[in-house]
A = this chain, B = another copy of it.
Amino acid sequence: MARPLVHPAIKDITVEGILHALADPDRVAIFAQIANSDASHACTRFSETNEKTIPKSTLSQHFKALREAGLIRSERKGVEMQNTSRCSEIDTRFPGLIPAIVDAHMKQKKARK
């Protein structure tokens, strides 16, 4: 039995949705990682890269949030998940939005340490 894996159409993506999804530190971190290492994958990997351990179910929620905000596309790839960013699509609708957010996030992360 196949799970649907809901992805909004480009025109159904909202600014509020994007901002809300990226307003969470863990989620921006995840998204940023997917966004610049394109065709990244697997949910569980992220608890390893970030020293902070995020529980499985919470991670699943985060990916769902990003997916339903239209930020990433998820496809089953065997037992794992392949998550790719939808940056270029979004950029046609809201030019510059995603880069600005990711940049700001990067800058802040650098400034912290």
Contact = CB atoms under 8 A, between A and B. Distances in A.
B23 A19 contact: yes
User: For the complex, would chain A's binding face be called helix, strand, loop or mixed by DSSP majority?
Assistant: helix
Interface in A30-59: none
A14 interface: yes
Contacts of A71: none
A101 B24 contact: no
A100 interface: yes
A5 interface: no
Given A23-B20, A23-B23, A101 B28 contact: no
A23 to B, nearest CB: 4
A15 B20 CA distance: 12
